Amino acid sequence: MPEDILMDIKRDYVLSRIRAGERIDGRNFDEFRKVEVKTGIIEKAEGSALVKLGNTQVVVGVKMQVGEPFPDTPNMGIIITNAELVPLASPTFEPGPPDENSIELARVVDRGIRESEAVDLEKLCIEEGEKVWIVFIDIHALDDDGNLMDASSIAAISALMNTTVPAERFGVGEDFKLPIRDFPISVTSLVVDDRILVDPCRDEMSVGKNLMTITSDEEGNVVAMQKSGSYLMAEEKFYELLDLSVAKAKEIRENVREQLKGGENGEDEES
Amino acid sequence: MEKPKLIVDGKRLDGRGFEELRPIKIEVGVLKRADGSCYLEMGKNKIIAAVYGPREVHPRHLQDPSKAVIRYRYNMAPFSVEERKKPGPDRRSVEISKVSREALEPVIMKELFPRSGIDVFVEVLQADAGTRTACLNAASVALIDAGVMMKGIVTAVAVAKVDGQIVLDPMKEEDFYGEADMPVAFLIRNDQIESIALLQMDGRMTVEEVKKGIELAKKGAMEIYRMQREAVMKKYVKEEE
């Protein structure tokens, strides 16, 4: 596979630059690529967001439906997260049922949102034990230039914040904004030799998918973690990652919050 | 459902202290057909692991000319949980299989077995929280039983935050009602913890609590490691006599 040979060449290049204390795109080791967030891009969805993380692009759409609650949580709405790595987004993605990578992506994004209790699920109960809102979060990758994980989790929370519950359409009252009470942000890093590369791009991942994702909430608590990739991580490296990821999440959260605010103002001006 | 009090008078629901493991039983070589096998109990968890290989890989296009291909299948029996589980892989077990395989891959000396495959199959016969860690513990022992060369042994344990306390090896109720769950696996080599092979977490913990959790997991893992070792010795030392 030509992709593999190219990757071998890139690997040597990436490694030599890292050993020289540099990243191939000139970023600092703890620097994210430029984050761009646009919400409300799909009118038919209850909420949506397009996130660009450098050249990586992801769309998340939120759709809602009325359904039955789970028996053990009769007064709570339901979140269902799904990810599709469509072949359009990368030469290595293939059509077909979700593979382990897309399942992992969806589950880690889901965990950040669920465990931070970002969506107030009790407010999504229509009739206890009978009817609740089901929130479908669908992650649609458009261009995988590395770190789909963080692009997807930023897109997911942004789309949720953009979501209006379509109560009128379902004949269960007036439409209302989806109640959001936290702002989880995931930070994924590549662990190479003794270095930590925050927000790795596709070419950097040619050295191996030695990834660690740490998601934290607004207060700086850790709400989800996932070591991903066949590698062994030194304990001290993990502690370093932990502090770094929580600090980075704060920075990204403020950046995204500003952009979301800007978007709303823009809409106001037009109307 | 009302959340019960999980800690009463400094003791957990089953009477354990915060840093105490559930009772563990390990038996090596329990299956005749497999190249290596292990039966493991950890509290109410009942796990059976089998290793086949190194053997030919099917389908053949999956072969790697430079190293062995590792496959890991975590599977829950339909009767292993309260409400019958639909047979076959679901999204949860696909994810668990992935991270578990990734914990073993860097430990198995794959380069020694080019073009071959090593299959690790783990069945959860009964589940009571911490199955992925119990499965990894059984899988490691089964790999040793199969004679697969490894850099060390993988030992796993979960820690949880329960009623504000960091506790070792949570059981079902603690996992369900607790604030956070963190499964961890380590590579242990020369009787020492060398690195982290698996790490996941969901729930809510401060950075300090996560660090405390890792320390506690290390303590628990060392205890389990001694039992894994003892179980292997018991089988092989006896056979030599």
pLDDT digits (tens, 9 = 90+) for A55-112: 999 999 999 999 999 999 999 999 999 999 999 999 889 898 999 999 999 999 999 9
- Name the residue ranges covered by the structural domains of chain B: 19-240
Tens of pLDDT, residues A181-234: 999 999 999 999 889 999 999 999 999 899 999 999 999 999 999 999 999 999
Q: What is the DSSP letter of A167?
A: T
**pLDDT for B191 beyond 50:** yes
Write out chain A residues lying below 8 Å of B102, CB-based.
Answer: 227-231
pLDDT of res. A266: 44
CB within 8 Å: A233 and B196? yes
Q: How confident is the model at residue A269 (pLDDT cuts 50, 70, 90)?
A: very low
**pLDDT for A20 beyond 70:** yes
Nearest to A221 among B94, B105, B204 (CB): B204
Q: How confident is the model at residue A267 (pLDDT cuts 50, 70, 90)?
A: very low
Number of helical (H) and strand (E) elements in chain A, helices listed first? 4, 12
pLDDT of res. B58: 87
pLDDT of res. A271: 36
**pLDDT for A1 beyond 80:** no
pLDDT of res. A268: 42
Q: Go through chain B and tell me how many residues it has.
A: 241
Tens of pLDDT, residues B92-121: 999 999 999 999 999 999 999 999 999 999
**pLDDT for B139 beyond 90:** yes
B84 interfacial to chain A (CB closer than 8 Å): no
Q: How confident is the model at residue A263 (pLDDT cuts 50, 70, 90)?
A: low
What fold, for B19-240?
Ribosomal Protein S5; domain 2 (3.30.230)
b vs e for B132-154, b when ≥16 Cβ sit within 10 Å of the residue's Cβ? bbbbbbbbbbbbbbbebeeebbb
Mean pLDDT of B57-73: 94
- Cα–Cα dist B185/A40, whole Å: 42
Tens of pLDDT, residues A110-125: 999 999 999 999 999 9
Nearest to B198 among A106, A227, A242 (CB): A227
pLDDT of res. A3: 62
Q: Min CA distance, B189 vs chain A (Å)? A: 13
> Contact, B150 vs B144, CB < 8 A?
yes
CB within 8 Å: B101 and A230? yes
Among the four given CATH numbers 2.40.240.10, 1.20.1250.20, 3.30.230.70, 3.40.1830.10, the one describing domain A2-270: 3.30.230.70
pTM, rounded to two decimals:
0.94
A153 interfacial to chain B (CB closer than 8 Å): no
Q: How many CB atoms are located within 10 Å of the residue B42 CB? A: 28
Q: What residue has token string 């037009």? A: A270
**Could you give the dihedral angle defined by the CA atoms of residues B105, B107, B112 and B114, in that order, rounded to the nearest 10 degrees?**
0
Choose between B191 and A208: higher pLDDT: B191
- Name the residue ranges covered by the structural domains of chain A: 2-270
Give me chain A's average pLDDT, please.
Answer: 94
